[in-house]
Amino acid sequence: MADGQRKNLRVAIAGLGSIGSKIARELDRGIEGLELSAVAVRDAGKHQAFLSGLRHQPSVLPIDQLGEAADIVVECAPSSQLRAIVEPAVKRGKIAVVVSVGALLDNGDLIDIARASGGRIVVPTGALIGLDAVAAAAVGTIHSVRMVTRKPIDGLKGAPFIVQNNIDIDGLREPLKLFEGTAREAAKGFPANLNVAVALSLAGVGPDRTSVQIWADPTVTRNVHRIEVESDSARFSMSIENIPSENPKTGLITALSVIALLRKQRATLSVGT
Ligand SMILES: NC(=O)C1=CN([C@@H]2O[C@H](COP(=O)(O)OP(=O)(O)OC[C@H]3O[C@@H](n4cnc5c(N)ncnc54)[C@H](OP(=O)(O)O)[C@@H]3O)[C@@H](O)[C@H]2O)C=CC1
Ligand SMILES: O=C([O-])CC(=O)C(=O)O
């Protein structure tokens, strides 16, 4: 069949929060070769006005049924829901786009399940920068990957590491280093705040060799990530200052990164690895 006659790829979205609602709106406006077929939410009533504002109404399904209604399932729900969304999709040989990437570390068998079923798990660059360069460097030898994250207080509140260690960040007047360790440890202590560290680690040297510092910083208004990579092909450092979305833990660029990834699925010209 000629490319122009190919059927649209059907996309389903799990979660219509700060990330999912923007992706849904963009798919509804039109992305070449793609269509929004279904969504899953926790509380359908809460999203009724949003959904009825779309030009084409997607089906509203339970999260574990999205893979039946789509070729690509985009996970943008709390990390606790990762398995319920991704497993049925990849078992059907579908593509799961995962933003709660930190939760992949405790659900690594999903990769084996996907492999056995012909499914795929795709992690977008999300709120980060430069995973193309990190993945390219990883084809050679990477000697070290370090990341320093600074977030405003609202971007860190409620993180298990802060709660368990009884750290009071509300009254901070100066930056405080909260954590130094591996990306795996960061994902456990900050599951809704440090997905980026895990994405970086999976692109590069893995969660146990990627070192991470986390600062609560009342002097910044953006979620700031700075990365330094030493490899046998290049040395590079990159930083990104993310404007928080309506969810202060989540940078605005995250949804845009997923939209850019979706656009590539059927684009005639695709740029960047
Ligand atoms: N990879 C990356 O770079 C980044 C990843 N993230 C991660 O992305 C994920 C989504 O973030 P964000 O959009 O800001 O989160 P939000 O809290 O804004 O939205 C989460 C959505 O998930 C829905 N939801 C919750 N439980 C269920 C359920 N059981 N079934 C279906 N839907 C459910 C919520 O529904 P309702 O509205 O009804 O409550 C809500 O719409 C988080 O895990 C976050 O940590 C965030 C930033 C960057
Ligand atoms: O990694 C995350 O979960 C979110 C994040 O830091 C950001 O949006 O800047």
Distance between Cα 33 and ligand 1 center (Å)? 26
Lining residues, ligand 1, CB within 6 Å: 14-20, 40-43, 46, 63, 76-79, 81, 99-101, 126-128, 192, 195-196, 199, 247, 250, 254
In the block, residue with structure tokens 């992706």: 23
Show the low-confidence residues of the chain (pLDDT under 70). 1-5
Ligand nearest to the CA of 194: 2
Alpha-carbon distance of 81 to 103, in angstroms, equals: 9
Inter-residue contact 82 to 104 (CB < 8 Å): yes
Q: Which ligand is nearest to the CA of 252?
A: 2
CB 97 within 8 A of CB 122: yes
Of 253, 267, 270, 257, the closest CA to residue 31 belongs to: 267
* Substitution site in 195, 238, 240 for ligand 2 pocket (most atoms within 8 Å of beta carbon): 195
Spatial distance between the Cα atoms of 179 and 222, rounded to a whole number of angstroms:
19
The per-residue pLDDT for 4 is: 53
Prediction pTM value: 0.96
Q: Report whether 212 contacts 201 (CB < 8 A).
A: no
Length of the chain, in residues: 273
Mutate to test the pocket of ligand 1, among 99, 129, 196 (most ligand atoms within 8 A of CB): 99
Tokens 């068998």 belong to: 109
pLDDT at residue 153, rounded to an integer: 96
ipTM of the complex in this document: 0.97
Counting ligands in written order, the one closest to the CA of 123 is 1
Q: What angle do CA 135, 22, 57 make, to 5 degrees?
A: 125
Interacting residues of 89 by C-beta distance below 8 A, sequence separation 6+: 66, 67, 70, 73, 95, 96, 119
- 92/147 Cα distance (integer angstroms): 36
Residue 143 appears among annotated catalytic residues? no
Separation of CA 254 and ligand 2 centre (Å): 8
Task: Write down the residue that tokens 């990834």 correspond to.
Answer: 261
39: region left, alpha or beta (phi > 0 left; psi from -120 to 50 alpha):
beta
Q: Let me know the angle formed at the C-alpha of 139 by 132 and 264, rounded to the nearest 5 degrees.
A: 35
Ligand 1: centre distance to CA 196 (Å): 15
* Per-residue pLDDT at 6: 80
**Tokens 């997607």, residue located:** 58
**H-type alpha helices, the chain:** 20-29, 48-52, 82-91, 109-117, 131-139, 160-164, 183-189, 195-203, 253-264
The binding-site residues of ligand 2, defined as CB within 6 angstroms of any ligand atom, are: 127, 193-196, 223, 242, 249-251, 254
Q: What is the pLDDT of residue 1?
A: 45
Ligand 2 centre distance from Cα of residue 242 (Å): 8
Pick the closest to residue 238 from 198, 273, 196 (CA basis): 196
Of 33, 29, 49, the closest CA to residue 41 belongs to 49
- pLDDT tens track for 181-225: 999 999 999 999 899 999 999 999 999 999 999 999 999 999 999
Distance CA 193, CA 147 (A): 14
